[in-house]
Structure 1
Amino acid sequence: MTPSPVQPGGGRWRLRHWRLLAKFIALLVIPLVLAVALGAARVSTSVTEAGELRALQRQVELSQQVAAVAHELQHERHLVAAFIATDRASQRAPADAQVHVVDDAIATLLATDADSDELSSASAQSYRDVLSQLSGLDALRAESLAPNAVGDIAIGRYGERIGVLLRFSRLALAGTDASLVGTADAVDALADAKEQVSTQHAVLLSAGLVGDLLPFQLDLLRQSSTRFTVAITDFTEAAPSSAEQQYRATVNGTGVTDRDELLNATLNLSRAGAPELVDPGQWDAASTETADLVRDVEAGLLGQLAAQSAALSDQARNDAIRDGVIIALAVLLALLLLLLVARSVLNPLRTLRLAAFDIAERQLPAVVERMRTSGDRGADVAVMPVPVDTREDIGEVARAFDAVHTEAVRLASEQAELRANVNDIFVNLSRRSQGLVERQLQLIDQLEDGERDPEQLAALFRLDHLATRMRRNSENLLVLAGADLRHRGGQAVPVLDILRAAASEIEQYRRIVVKPPPSATVSGPVVNDLVHLIAELLDNATAYAPPDSTVSVASAVDADGTLRVEIADVGVGLEPDALAAINHRLAEPPRVDVSVSRQMGLFVVGRLAGRHDISVRLATSETIAGVIAHVQVPAALTSTGVTGGSAMTGVAGASPESALQGDPLRTGPGAADETETELFGAAIDEPDDPLFGSRTPSDSRDASTPIFEEITSAWFRDLRRVPVPMPVSARDKRGAHAADWGSAAEEGRLAANALRQPNGHADVTAAGLPKRRPRALLVPGAARATPVTSSESTAGPEGPVRNADAVRGRLSSFQRGVREGRKARHRSGGTDADPNDGDEQ
């Protein structure tokens, strides 16, 4: 019984249809992917931060260069202002020298690789402005050092360029890390304070050298002083304590104090209306010293800022590498755990799955087949457990499957025992039925022996064949049960006897026409099965052919010794599909079930053929209607007395079908020509297994034949005991008790017996072989001495027309009477019987 397949619900991409491995991957990989995504984001953030810090480092380094240029440019500014105010050659030399210093600083700045991608958009634009201002510095110098140059204008233009440089530094340091914001703001404030110191230096130095402090110059000094105070306040607020301490420790001394006093004095006196001009030399020295000290603090803070930004950049890069390594290790560890967990689950599950399929498709069917074929009655069969020894759920499922397997084997064993019991019942019933049928056949034989009424005798014949069919059905039950049929000795049996025995077991035996069989025999142990097999095929052929048709049986022996038997009918035939299905069932008989009982003959034929490697195949012919059954008996089971002859065509290996085509089937009983052998024209000497159809009664009780009148002894005549003359030798040999059994035919029989004796005076050929003499061995009176003329052959019979069935019936009754009489005489102790006499008479 094949289980109906489970129809999966939903699409194939539904989660419940996923394989377990896919579910494991989805269960573990999805969180892993999320973790990888988050880790990648973290690494990306670290990498971005490292890049920003690296860019900050580059910006701080660039700011250092720009601050250096700005400081030198501030120094150039007050020197140019001093030159313009005095217009003396002595002031030109320091200015020119400072110009070279500024140019060197600018060259150092330009030599710095400033990648615009590392700068923000505002910083990049500011840096481009710086480069633009620096490129126009030569024009400013030429204008400022010209004879008619104005000092205040030159100071203002220098201030504009220095402002661009300070603006870049402010923007470059604006995007620093949170930990560097204070230092960056302190640097920016300190740069602004230094610019105010430089501006005050240039303005007051120019006024001192000129000897006049103009009002706008005084306002400029006041504004610059206020900005310086604000810048120092911003520095104090933004700078770390260390930076503030550094500023206080650095920006002090006599120069710083003198500068503050000179500036304050100038501003205070200017408020009184009479400003006092400072000493240019003292002012220049004090301002230069103060600017340089502020520059030192600025440079130190920029160095700290650059170092801190570099440290932060390195740390961010290291953090990115560390995070990447950690995430990679986490992913590898997760994958390893995935593989371990999946392996611990999938390996037992795969083992369980393979074992389940192996048990379902191979082991369990093999056990059931072995129980079915070997006939084991509930034998204990060891069940190999599924090789899963875990204690988790899959192990429990494996143990449950082992229990199911054990139960299935137990049920199969019980079914095998039940099947064996049923087979035993079949065998027992069949044996009993066979015993009853045999007794019935013996009783029928006894009734036939004492019956003289032809009609009753014909009824007994039909009953005899019906009992024979019942015996064949009982043998079919034996075949269904797997038992052997009745055994026969090891003596080989001729093919003709096998065909006769097969025909005698069917009801429509009179419709069977047998082609002359070959001179071959079949091994004794195979005979009964082969007889039964051919009988089933003959029964099937007569059942599905028209009632007035005959079934032709042809046989031949191939050159390799294979015996071929073909049974042809003129029925309706079969469709190709049905024919293929029947041939498949013949080649591979199905298991015994209800369908087998409906096609018992087909199953029995396949089972019997399979026992002896006999090939049975049904086919159709283009020239003959109906079905042809081909039976091939292996050469190992046959033997031939005459080689090279074929009963069908006279040539060894000829096709039986060609023989059938050359000799069309008859359309009614008795229509066969002289090449066919009607099976039931004579009796046979096996009373317990009658094979011949000569038991059909005659149409008239009083009909007689000349041969019957001739050979019937006085014992069969009505109350007449007239002794029949016999030859003296015969009377001497048989004795007085055999007088009433003699007949006129005894003379011919004794003459035939005399002819059987070797004749030492027989003619021989030159090679020493005996010569055959035509008609030398014929019984006297058995053949006419002279040929029959055409007139005699057409004159018709001399006596009345005889019924062939009636003649056969009389001969059969006579034969049985003679046989029973001789048996009774032998049992009574008579010893004068002729040893050459037998049951063949």
Structure 2
Amino acid sequence: MGRKPRSIRSKIILVLLVPVVALTALWVLDVHASFADAAALRDTDHTQDNVSQPCDKMVAALQAERSLSVEVLAVAAGDVGALRTQRAATDAAVAEFRDLSRRYRGSGISGDITRSRIADMLAARDSLTLLRTQVDAGSITRAVAVSGYNGIIGSAFSVSTAAAVSSDPLVERVMRTSVAMRRAGELLHQEDALLTGVTAAGRFDAGERRQLSEIVGALRFQIPVAGSTLPAPDQAAFKSMLSGPNFVALRTAEDRIIRDEGLGGPVATTRAEWKATFIPAVRQLYDFLANGYGKAAEFADAERDRILTRFGVSGLLGLIAILASLVLSIRVGGSVVRRLSVLRTAANELAHRRLPEMVMRVRAGEQIDTDRDPLRLSLGDDEIADVGAALSEVQQSAIDSAAGEAALRYDMNKALVNIARRNQTLVDRQLQALARTPAGDATAERATARAEQLAVQMRRHAEHLVILAGSARSRRGFGPEPLARVITRAAGEVEHAERIELGPLTDAEVPEPAVTDLGHLLAELLENGTTFSPPDTPVRVSAQRVPDGVTIEIEDQGLGMSRSVLDETNRRLAEPQEFDPAKSARLGLFVVGFLAAQWGIGVVLRPSPRRGVIATVTLPSELAVPVAAPVTAPGGGARRSNAAKLVGMVAQGRRGTAEQSAVPRHAAGDSQDR
């Protein structure tokens, strides 16, 4: 099943709609991206409040617990009460982190990573419980305790690092710098935890000096690197802080402690001295970091405002462009579609109504003034208007061609009528001359009768030209005639009239105007019957009355016609077309159809039971007026000779017998040539 073709309207709408849809799609994508960026920046504050800051608070609690745990491991009489208080604070910080982190609403890959890191951090509580049990039992060394807390705090920092992702590069840079510096601060707290235990015990255990050296080396490397990503003004302040007295004193104390090589001997500093050096430095560092998240939030707010401003401008301009494109597309497309619809309507009207009517009027002889009745189309001044103008030219060309054809047809018809009139005049003169031939010689009389019969046929064939030309026939009777006389006269005009057998003929009268044309019609059908049947077979004619008039049947025993040819012939007889000179071989049937249509006579061919064809001629009641006495055909074996005598009587009143033809002219093939 084929797909229904699209109309020009749908194609134009599609062509105009595609750019508008594409522009709308791009605008929607830009709006979505702008809103997504603004929403992501808005979520920066949300992430800080629910992830970053609670995580930092939890890290600070773990760092304080780590120092107190190491101090308890270093001195048997350590402050256990302070440790328990700090553990409660740590648990509160972990619980707060757990509750707030559930509100985290980050999306995408970074959001999934952050949630995974949060889950890892909360799962580390089991290791924290185990670590506390070991500290309380004194079953681990200070170095192992420090490493255990370092791992838990590292999980917390992985959460901060994952949560530092932002859609704005500047915001993400500030967040990551803040996390990196807090990691450097974690190294300070690791150093404090280690030295708290050492100063409390008064000596280094195995591995603690090396661990201290590693922490100090990492600290001196990571703190400057972490500050290198700060903005220029903040970076200068950061460098000034590192070169200030607090960090100089810290580095001096670290160097002095590391240079003490006596393993197991006294430490080069006391706990009070170390705390006096450590606390100012770490406070100064965290004071510097205190506004890090605030700056990130400020940057995020500024970027969000910039995005919203850009969206307000570009989104509004984009919406205006879409609306303008839509309005322009509707106006242009509607104009083109309307004008094409007008053009299509005009073309259909021209092809199916206007032009055929004008051509018929021209062929009927009417003068058409196309200037007074032009094809008016208001289509503008573009290519569509050019097509409309071409339609007007087509109309004018068709009218001119039809007028030329009509003039040529009129001249040809005049020539045909002139030739036919001349032939009819000569034939009539020949018949008059034959009628004056003296009687006496039987052979001469037969020759004269034969010549008269041929002359009558010649006159009938000459009338074909008059009929084709549509002119009035010149022969007229002297009033209405009986149907039997019309049939017998038509039989007398056939070459092999002696083969025609007259059956029962109903009594009817044919009006004077139809006498000649009806006789012509019947003569053509009778001649077909004798021509296309064997010479030794009769052609039977009968007429009987029916409710709507009189039916005349002409039956031959000839070659017959195939069903397809019979149907085609009946169609041509029922609906005669204009005469086509290329089909002049079937001139007789065209004349029959033309006369039948002119007088409302029905002519139908059907197969005969005797292998031939039966032509049924149905005369309407106005062409077959009933009269008193019916006429019947002679019966018995004398039917054929009586018909021949009747033909002779009809031939201009001369008596005689028709000459027997040796071999009648008929076709040996298909009767399609009738």
> Considering the TM-score relative to the shorter chain, is it more than 0.5?
yes
Distance 1:388 1:105 in 2: 84
Distance 1:620 1:122 in 2: 96
Residue 401 of structure 1: aligned partner: 391
> Structure 1 691/632 Cα, relative in aligned 2: closer, same or farther at 3 Å?
farther
Q: CA deviation at 1:322?
A: 10
Classify the secondary structure of the residue corresponding to 2:541.
strand
Classify the secondary structure of the residue corresponding to 1:238.
coil
Asked whether 1:477 is paired with 2:465, we answer yes
Structure 2 matches for 1:98-117, cutoff 5 A? 98-111=86-99, 112-113=101-102
Distance 2:92 2:391 in 1: 92
Classify the secondary structure of the residue corresponding to 1:62.
helix
Which amino acid counterpart does residue 386 of structure 2 have in structure 1? Answer: E
- Among residues 416, 440, 451, which one is paired with 1:426 in the alignment? 416
Residue 277 of structure 1: aligned partner: 269
Are the aligned partners of 1:500 and 1:692 in contact in 2 as well (CA < 8 Å)?
no
Q: CA deviation at 1:71?
A: 1.0
Distance 2:139 2:611 in 1: 141
Q: CA deviation at 1:617?
A: 1.7
Residue 631 of structure 1: aligned partner: 617
> Structure 1 152/565 Cα, relative in aligned 2: closer, same or farther at 3 Å?
closer
Are the aligned partners of 2:499 and 2:640 in contact in 1 as well (CA < 8 Å)?
no
Residue 680 of structure 1: aligned partner: 645
Residue 504 of structure 1: aligned partner: 492
> Structure 1 690/62 Cα, relative in aligned 2: closer, same or farther at 3 Å?
same
Are the aligned partners of 2:70 and 2:145 in contact in 1 as well (CA < 8 Å)?
yes
> Structure 1 176/146 Cα, relative in aligned 2: closer, same or farther at 3 Å?
farther
> Structure 1 288/523 Cα, relative in aligned 2: closer, same or farther at 3 Å?
same
Residue 439 of structure 1: aligned partner: 429
Asked whether 1:78 is paired with 2:67, we answer yes
* Larger relative contact order (CA 8 Å, sep ≥ 6): 2
1:194-213: CA deviation from partner (whole Å, max 9, x where unpaired): 22332343344444444557
1:485-538: CA deviation from partner (whole Å, max 9, x where unpaired): 236579432212222332333333343332342222122222221122112222
Are the aligned partners of 1:465 and 1:504 in contact in 2 as well (CA < 8 Å)?
yes
Structure 2 matches for 1:190-589, cutoff 5 A? 190-211=181-202, 224-241=215-232, 243-244=234-235, 261=249, 264=252, 267-268=255-256, 277-278=269-270, 280=272, 284=275, 287-288=278-279, 290-305=281-296, 308=299, 344-345=335-336, 348-349=339-340, 352=343, 355-356=346-347, 359-360=350-351, 362-372=353-363, 374=364, 376=365, 379-380=368-369, 384-385=374-375, 387=377, 389-445=379-435, 447-448=436-437, 450-486=438-474, 488=476, 491-558=479-546, 560-589=547-576
Distance 1:296 1:432 in 2: 135
State which structure, 1 or 2, has the greater radius of gyration over its C-alpha atoms. 1
Q: CA deviation at 1:249?
A: 10
Q: CA deviation at 1:165?
A: 3.0
Classify the secondary structure of the residue corresponding to 2:505.
coil
Residue 68 of structure 1: aligned partner: 57
Q: CA deviation at 1:63?
A: 3.5
Which amino acid counterpart does residue 169 of structure 2 have in structure 1? Answer: A
> Structure 1 266/566 Cα, relative in aligned 2: closer, same or farther at 3 Å?
closer
Distance 2:361 2:366 in 1: 11
- Among residues 84, 89, 94, which one is paired with 2:82 in the alignment? 94
Classify the secondary structure of the residue corresponding to 1:618.
strand
Distance 1:74 1:517 in 2: 138
Classify the secondary structure of the residue corresponding to 2:69.
helix
Q: CA deviation at 1:337?
A: 6.0
Structure 1 length as normaliser, TM-score?
0.65
Residue 669 of structure 2: aligned partner: none
Classify the secondary structure of the residue corresponding to 2:125.
helix
Classify the secondary structure of the residue corresponding to 2:471.
coil
Distance 1:610 1:355 in 2: 34
Q: CA deviation at 1:547?
A: 3.6
- Shifted more, 605-614 versus 211-220: the winner is 211-220
Distance 2:315 2:434 in 1: 106
Classify the secondary structure of the residue corresponding to 1:136.
helix
Distance 1:487 1:84 in 2: 151
Q: CA deviation at 1:43?
A: 7.9
Q: CA deviation at 1:180?
A: 3.4
Gaps of 5+ in 1: 1-11, 649-659, 699-841
> Structure 1 269/199 Cα, relative in aligned 2: closer, same or farther at 3 Å?
closer
Percent of aligned pairs sharing the same letter: 27
Classify the secondary structure of the residue corresponding to 1:602.
helix
Distance 2:583 2:258 in 1: 139
Distance 1:250 1:329 in 2: 54
Q: CA deviation at 1:403?
A: 1.5
> Structure 1 483/288 Cα, relative in aligned 2: closer, same or farther at 3 Å?
same
Q: CA deviation at 1:634?
A: 0.4
Distance 2:153 2:223 in 1: 19
Q: CA deviation at 1:336?
A: 6.9
Residue 773 of structure 1: aligned partner: none
Q: CA deviation at 1:82?
A: 3.8
Distance 1:78 1:162 in 2: 13
Q: CA deviation at 1:608?
A: 0.9
1:122-147: CA deviation from partner (whole Å, max 9, x where unpaired): 76665555334332212222332446
- Shifted more, 326-335 versus 536-545: the winner is 326-335
Classify the secondary structure of the residue corresponding to 1:515.
strand
Structure 2 length as normaliser, TM-score?
0.79
- Among residues 593, 608, 612, which one is paired with 2:595 in the alignment? 608
Q: CA deviation at 1:367?
A: 3.7
Are the aligned partners of 2:497 and 2:643 in contact in 1 as well (CA < 8 Å)?
no
Distance 1:630 1:466 in 2: 26
Q: CA deviation at 1:73?
A: 1.2
Which amino acid counterpart does residue 390 of structure 2 have in structure 1? Answer: A
Distance 1:33 1:344 in 2: 20
Residue 169 of structure 2: aligned partner: 178
Are the aligned partners of 1:63 and 1:172 in contact in 2 as well (CA < 8 Å)?
yes
Gaps of 5+ in 2: 660-674
Distance 2:153 2:36 in 1: 33
Residue 818 of structure 1: aligned partner: none
- Among residues 100, 114, 136, which one is paired with 2:127 in the alignment? 136
- Computed over aligned residues only, the root mean square deviation of the Cα atoms, in angstroms, reads 4.8
> Structure 1 691/579 Cα, relative in aligned 2: closer, same or farther at 3 Å?
farther
> Structure 1 40/377 Cα, relative in aligned 2: closer, same or farther at 3 Å?
closer
Which amino acid counterpart does residue 427 of structure 1 have in structure 2? Answer: V
For these two proteins, the number of residue pairs brought into alignment is: 648
Residue 585 of structure 2: aligned partner: 598
> Structure 1 597/209 Cα, relative in aligned 2: closer, same or farther at 3 Å?
closer
